[in-house]
A and B are shown apart, each in its own frame.
Chain A
């Protein structure tokens, strides 16, 4: 599948604001736009309102490992119900400042995705209306999907 159409959206982003696009990766038929974290909401809003990316198909975080810097990344998989294209927006976050602005005001579905990312990776979404743990119990210690969290946990977990 060609990515010419996706490159047009990237060009539009660059034309709108040069600082929005840090780098672009075009691999395996998918285009990834690396965006500075302070602009991610603006980029998403621009794509949603002007280029038909009306659905946030998925939002997921990734931990590259404690020795990496920046350690975390958040991937926004945008999808359009108009032209059926997919675009990935990526944000990189450092370990001691793992905060990114929430996109819940743009897409309601971001609410649970961001809660899940917060729960499992410990990435904070600023201005999220209800940032609580979603899958793990509220008194759980640590963030289970981080690379330095052991597979079997620190100690047997008990509900009592």
Chain B
């Protein structure tokens, strides 16, 4: 009897040391930023391999586009990357405008840049809050959401929607900015540096945060390009690429701002890129406010752009155009385009194909979160399980865009 026990004991010990354990992290895990499931193979606390399992939020948006008219598709885009809906709107409407070959008035372009940069700050605020929350700093989250709330109020005042603005339309904007918008926007910009100072003191200067993020989630420059990383993730690996500068759209070439680049290739480098980017966003918003000159906010294309209410009451042809656009939509010339913008998370590309009718033949969204997440197994291999959440936080993923 006693010999049997002695024989058993070392076997059990050996098994616990040598064997690898597979655990499923998510889809309800709070640090996976939604419904991401990771199949982690662990050796002790070290990650041996990771298989991301996505699709829990798949709602068939790309299929739905094919059944909706071009202008109806805008509201679907709001629900993709729900932290950066204006960026999605912009990518979609610019692809359609490219097919239609419509010129957008100057004021509409400036407002688009202005709103997109405000949205980028809001998106980065959620990233900063949740990233710190994952690592263990609770209070940052509340301060970040306080700033985000101010931006959402601004967006709400302009579009009527907080999370789902659908503010950009094919050919311009839904409507002009409300009275007093620039005053409130300036107020936000004046308060923002103080908030940034607080974040830098709370987070950047925090030795615990630094030790949790430095030399973790390493991805070198060549791998980052091969994995198709874009946005702050790529710039954290030392590649100077920003579509706002290198493939300028919507008049970004007229703004003066810098591209923050870090060469650390780790979570800390990606953190620094986004933090520095926040200052640049505020800079662009300020410049856009200065560039705001009175003028039309809709393109002169009566068959595509909905007329003003006032026009409809006075002019018969406006009423007819309105009826036709709403009831039948407008035909888009045959062709295909791929339009990419720099969203808050990276390159957001829209492939749009038209066969001449009022509904697109194919709309494909190249989501930055989708591509950035695919590099996760490479980044976390050999790291500790506690660092996996830090790496996910540094990728800044939104599952609505990954699963579409």
Q: Does B131 contact A (CB under 8 A)?
A: no
Q: What 0/1 readout, one digit per residue, does chain B (44-87) give for beta carbons within 8 Å of chain A? A: 00000000001100101011101100000000000000000000
Q: Does B280 contact A (CB under 8 A)?
A: no
Chain A proximity of B79: nearest CB distance (Å): 16
Q: Does B364 contact A (CB under 8 A)?
A: yes
Out of B58, B67, B226, B337, name the residue touching A28 (CB < 8 Å).
Answer: B337
Asked if B353 contacts A62 (CB within 8 A), the reply is yes
Contacts of A111 in B (CB 8 A): 374
Q: What 0/1 readout, one digit per residue, does chain A (121-160) give for beta carbons within 8 Å of chain B? A: 0000000000001111100000011010101000000000
Contact flag A28-B335 (CB < 8 Å), given A58-B349, A75-B351, A81-B239: yes
* Range, interface on chain B: 35 or more
Interface residues of A in 77-95 (CB under 8 A from B): 77, 79, 81, 84, 86, 88
- Which single residue of chain A is at the shortest CB-CB distance from B247? A84
The docked-state distance in angstroms from the alpha carbon of A109 to that of B234 is: 13
The docked-state distance in angstroms from the alpha carbon of A32 to that of B351 is: 13
Q: What 0/1 readout, one digit per residue, does chain B (239-271) give for beta carbons within 8 Å of chain A? A: 101000011000000000000000000000000
Chain B proximity of A121: nearest CB distance (Å): 10
The docked-state distance in angstroms from the alpha carbon of A111 to that of B404 is: 18
The docked-state distance in angstroms from the alpha carbon of A91 to that of B53 is: 29
Q: Does A55 contact B (CB under 8 A)?
A: yes
The docked-state distance in angstroms from the alpha carbon of A63 to that of B371 is: 22
Contacts of A30 in B (CB 8 A): 336-338
Asked if A58 contacts B338 (CB within 8 A), the reply is yes
Out of A28, A54, A58, name the residue touching B364 (CB < 8 Å).
Answer: A58
Out of A63, A84, A136, name the residue touching B58 (CB < 8 Å).
Answer: A136
Q: How many residues of A are counted as interface, with CB atoms below 8 angstroms from the partner's CB atoms? A: 38
Interface residues of B in 60-116 (CB under 8 A from A): 60, 62-64, 66-67, 98-99, 101
Asked if B101 contacts A28 (CB within 8 A), the reply is yes
Asked if B338 contacts A88 (CB within 8 A), the reply is yes
Out of B62, B99, B361, B371, name the residue touching A112 (CB < 8 Å).
Answer: B371
Contact flag A134-B55 (CB < 8 Å), given A28-B335, A88-B338: yes
The docked-state distance in angstroms from the alpha carbon of A28 to that of B340 is: 14
Asked if B55 contacts A77 (CB within 8 A), the reply is no
Chain B proximity of A149: nearest CB distance (Å): 8
Asked if A109 contacts B227 (CB within 8 A), the reply is yes
- Which single residue of chain B is at the shortest CB-CB distance from A117? B364
Contact flag A86-B371 (CB < 8 Å), given A81-B239, A135-B54: no
Asked if B55 contacts A137 (CB within 8 A), the reply is yes
Q: List 23 A-B contacts (CB under 8 A).
A: A27-B335, A28-B335, A55-B225, A56-B228, A57-B338, A57-B347, A58-B338, A58-B349, A58-B351, A58-B366, A62-B362, A64-B361, A75-B336, A77-B351, A84-B241, A86-B340, A109-B228, A109-B371, A113-B371, A135-B403, A136-B58, A137-B55, A151-B63
B residues contacting A by CB (< 8 A) are 54-55, 58, 60, 62-64, 66-67, 98-99, 101, 223, 225-228, 239, 241, 246-247, 335-338, 340, 347, 349, 351, 353, 361-362, 364, 366, 370-371, 374-375, 378, 403-404
Would you list the 6 A-B pairs with minimal beta carbon distance, nearest first?
A109-B228, A58-B366, A60-B364, A135-B55, A84-B246, A112-B374
